[in-house]
Structure 1
Amino acid sequence: MASSGHQVVSDMKVQNFNKGKGEANPANNSESQGDNVVVSSIKLEKIFSMKGGKGESSYANNSQAQAIHARSMLHLLKETLDSVQLSSPAVPFVAVDLGCSSGSNTIYIIDVIIEHMTKRYEALGCDPPEFSAFFSDLPSNDFNTLFQLIPPMANHGGSMEETLAADNHRSYFAAAVPGSFYRRLFPSRSVDLFHSAFSLHWLSQVPESVLDKRSAAYNKGRVFIHGANESTAIAYKKQFQTDLASFLRSRAKELKKGGSMFLVCLGRTTVDPTDESGPGLLFGTHFQDAWDDLVQEGLITSEKLDSFNIPVYASSLQDFKEVVEADGSFTINKLEIFKGGSPLVVSQPDDAAEVGRALANSCRSVAGVLVDAHIGDHLGNELFSRVEKRGTSQAKELLESQIIPYGLSFHGEARCGQQSTLPSLHLKPTCAIPHDPEFLLILCPLAMLHRIDLQPSYFWLPPLEIMLGSTRKPA
């Protein structure tokens, strides 16, 4: 669940605190002395990830909410899988999860994808192809923990049928692909399906103007876009537009003809970007208040607070649609916003202390790496202990408000002009009929290869798709 990017802050200082040391002296924070190490222009891509390992505040142990969301979206994912054109079983099927992070959610999604695609081949009387699954995230992601969770490949050297029949074994070849998904990651026309969940709201960087004291967008006193001024909101939105366009162009080149992409990210229902709904309550209220506590207690300077911002932008449906249509790399098959659930998954909601721990662990699992890089792990502990205290004292209000985020789902296909046709398929051009501004009806003949005694026969399935909110004609 991580995105990619560039600069977090300029002239960032990372402080290493040994156990047993007392409070950090804010005066020393501005100098390179003792255990302090000055690191200039740290790139987000090099340091950012969800919190790795298997500890209490790790992402692996604090991604239950994401798992619930993933299961609630399976029907939409399967709709996307049904739209993927099948090629010869002799050609491996390639699925990619972008922003995989280090928990078990990504493994579950890949299992769902492969099981569903296997059934599609079997329904045509075909043997399934071999499957390749690529788990992609930033280089700093904890791939070691992730691959410890992935079961071993079944029957090395055996048939795919034997592999699929094996219990407690995976039925695909697995590999990690470290790198920013805002750039190219795969060869041209090599991927059948891209999946990404709760990653694209992470920007490639904090907008430079947000950290510039001379700029109207300078986000003084805040660590997030929620509640910021209009200039700050514009800067965040422009960064989102730039990043998403780069993402779409990269994926359009990598996707096979007939491939599809399924995306889910944090969304908002408000027009105002500074009202970030669920993420705003999490990062813009409780997390923000904990930073203010550190300043008021003299543990950090106000300048240290001002130079930290969370690179997250929860898009509205209109924001997302505008970028997709302006870029032109993809056609929109389905774009909708849905109401998610609370990130606070607690077994005993009446236990205020558990609610407080859940809030602190949830925040730390996604933002802890950035916090520790900015103020050091010692002060990071101080910060999240205050998040926990606030969560404990406001447990009832937290559970009632639910901090419910809105999600935005996208199912799209690369425009025909971006790719060449696979040699194993015979495709007819997509045919469009006249449309009005709200409804676009497209006849999409899908070619699926079915081999019987080495003789290919082709089955044409012309489903009629109704795509809401899209006025772009197919290429």
Structure 2
Amino acid sequence: MKMAPKGNDVIVSDRKLEMILSMKGGNGEASYANNSQAQAIHAQSMLHLLRETLDNIQLMEPPSETIPFALADLGCSCGNNTLYIVDVIIKHISKRYEASGYEPPEFSAFFSDLPSNDFNTLFQLLPPIGSSMEECLASDTHRSYFAAGVPGSFYRRLFPTRSIDFFHSAFSLHWLSQVPESALDKRSMAYNKGKVYIHGANEHTANAYKKQFQTDLAAFLGARSKEMKRCGSMFLVCLGRTSADPTDQGGPGILFGTHFQDAWNDLVQEGLITGEKRDSFNIPVYASSLQEFKEVVEANGSFVINKLEVFKGGSPLVVKQPDDAAEVGQALANSCRSVAGVLVDAHIGDQLSEELFKRVERRGSCYAKELIEQLQFFHIVASLSFA
């Protein structure tokens, strides 16, 4: 992999996005593990919907003790959130078996994300496996499942045919497999000149992102339709929007299209990078509308929609003192950096990345009150089973 000198001439490797993209690993201040409290709060607020989906799964009757119940968390990242959700799923299924008078089966949990994910940090968080289901249900210090990591893009096949009982994916499907090529092509009407995100972009750029999202979601559903058992179910959560206009990305637009965008402009104005360097960077995130999501599921035809709704998730910023402008600015910078920092580092290098996020923090502090009042995420929640 060749890298040019730092500054305007930094050249990102020609590796595909899936070989670079990851939430920021480790346990540092800007790591995803230490900046995913909002995702945890949002996930907990949707547990009743998750449990409803789990109730749709048809349990296998004895003698099924030799066949494990297999679940997969797609886009697991590297923090405690995925472990918490897997525990919720297994405990709920175990209680369903017990209520039916059956012994719960063994459980296999597959944690899947892109190869660049920090699986080491994730697996260090795993508690030891318990000696019995009863011990695990009675204590949070043991796990009741066999764990495995599965690196790869969920836009392709990851598992053998008809091998998974339950798929879970939260806060991941809004990440595209790639930035649409036309958004980076100077000759295209979709060229996203002057911007690093599609919030407020032109109609052609937004439509390119919409098409990429729907192509990716179709690929995701196609792969899962082969891997999921006929009696299985799937629970999906991704960023959504309430506006019919795809150039209005709502909360993600405020996160990536305002102060983060302005910080890039600062680097250009200060001569630290060129405008062309800025324009060649785009955040590969798309917040879909409910209708756009529904169209893809229905076109695929493999799944029944048990539930599909837009759910108000709240703010991605978790601060102890909302009136403390400095804390809000730091939370904004850490939030952006935990999810997009790896891409920024790859594009302009560590030193300029540090300068960029300093400016994000400074701008966030100046607009702290507005951020606390306006920065709200909405999520699309989908419960699907086989048609």
- CA–CA distance in structure 2, aligned partners of residues 13 and 351 of structure 1: 43
1:419-434 maps to which residues of 2 (within 5 A)? Answer: none
Deviation string, structure 1 residues 416-449 (Cα, Å, up to 9, x no partner): xxxxxxxxxxxxxxxxxxxxxxxxxxxxxxxxxx
Please report how far the alpha carbon of residue 220 of structure 1 lies from its aligned counterpart in structure 2 after TM superposition. 0.4
Partner residue in 1 for 2:383: 411
Q: 1:252 aligns with which of 225, 244, 255?
A: 225
Q: 2:164 aligns with which of 184, 191, 197?
A: 191
1:435-454 maps to which residues of 2 (within 5 A)? Answer: none
Deviation string, structure 1 residues 343-383 (Cα, Å, up to 9, x no partner): 11001112111111000000000000000000001000000
Partner residue in 1 for 2:268: 295
Deviation string, structure 1 residues 67-98 (Cα, Å, up to 9, x no partner): 00000000000000000010134121011100
Q: 2:142 aligns with which of 169, 181, 186?
A: 169
Contact 1:270 1:316 in 2 (8 A): yes
Partner residue in 2 for 1:473: none
Please report how far the alpha carbon of residue 14 of structure 1 lies from its aligned counterpart in structure 2 after TM superposition. 4.8
1:98-137 maps to which residues of 2 (within 5 A)? Answer: 98-137=74-113
Residue identity in the other structure for 2:376: I
- CA–CA distance in structure 2, aligned partners of residues 400 and 170 of structure 1: 40
Partner residue in 1 for 2:207: 234
Deviation string, structure 1 residues 209-228 (Cα, Å, up to 9, x no partner): 11110000000000011011
- Is the alpha carbon distance of 1:220 and 1:151 closer, same or farther for their aligned partners in structure 2, counting shifts above 3 Å? same
Q: Is the aligned partner of 1:86 residue 2:86? A: no
Contact 2:12 2:346 in 1 (8 A): no
Choose 1 or 2 for highest CA Rg: 1
Contact 1:129 1:160 in 2 (8 A): no
Contact 2:135 2:142 in 1 (8 A): no
- CA–CA distance in structure 2, aligned partners of residues 316 and 193 of structure 1: 25
Task: Give the structure-1-normalised TM-score.
Answer: 0.79
Partner residue in 2 for 1:381: 354
Residue identity in the other structure for 2:40: A
Give structure 1 regions of 4+ aligned residues with deviation exceeding 6 angstroms. Answer: none
1:354-365 maps to which residues of 2 (within 5 A)? Answer: 354-365=327-338
Structure 2 spans left out of the alignment, 5+ residues: none
Identity of aligned residues (%): 74
Instruction: Determine which structure has the larger helix proportion and give its number.
Output: 2
Structure 1 spans left out of the alignment, 5+ residues: 1-11, 18-23, 30-35, 416-475
Contact 1:14 1:375 in 2 (8 A): no
Please report how far the alpha carbon of residue 40 of structure 1 lies from its aligned counterpart in structure 2 after TM superposition. 4.6
- Is the alpha carbon distance of 1:63 and 1:338 closer, same or farther for their aligned partners in structure 2, counting shifts above 3 Å? same
Structure number with greater CO (CA < 8 Å, separation at least 6) is: 2
1:456-471 maps to which residues of 2 (within 5 A)? Answer: none
Number of equivalences: 384
Q: 1:153 aligns with which of 125, 129, 134?
A: 129
Contact 1:14 1:373 in 2 (8 A): no
Q: 1:262 aligns with which of 221, 224, 235?
A: 235
Contact 1:267 1:337 in 2 (8 A): yes
Deviation string, structure 1 residues 164-190 (Cα, Å, up to 9, x no partner): 455501010000000000000000100
Please report how far the alpha carbon of residue 42 of structure 1 lies from its aligned counterpart in structure 2 after TM superposition. 2.3
Residue identity in the other structure for 2:144: S
Partner residue in 1 for 2:370: 397
1:217-232 maps to which residues of 2 (within 5 A)? Answer: 217-232=190-205
Partner residue in 1 for 2:297: 324
Please report how far the alpha carbon of residue 124 of structure 1 lies from its aligned counterpart in structure 2 after TM superposition. 1.0
Partner residue in 2 for 1:140: 116
Q: 1:45 aligns with which of 18, 22, 27?
A: 18
Contact 1:14 1:374 in 2 (8 A): no
Contact 1:13 1:374 in 2 (8 A): no
- CA–CA distance in structure 1, aligned partners of residues 136 and 315 of structure 2: 38
Task: Give the structure-2-normalised TM-score.
Answer: 0.96
Deviation string, structure 1 residues 24-78 (Cα, Å, up to 9, x no partner): 4x4xx2xxxxxx6x45522111111000000000000000000000000000000
- Is the alpha carbon distance of 1:265 and 1:303 closer, same or farther for their aligned partners in structure 2, counting shifts above 3 Å? same
Residue identity in the other structure for 2:79: G
Residue identity in the other structure for 2:260: F
Partner residue in 2 for 1:459: none
Please report how far the alpha carbon of residue 276 of structure 1 lies from its aligned counterpart in structure 2 after TM superposition. 0.3
RMSD between superposed Cα atoms in Å:
1.5
Residue identity in the other structure for 2:379: G
Residue identity in the other structure for 1:132: S
Contact 1:339 1:405 in 2 (8 A): yes
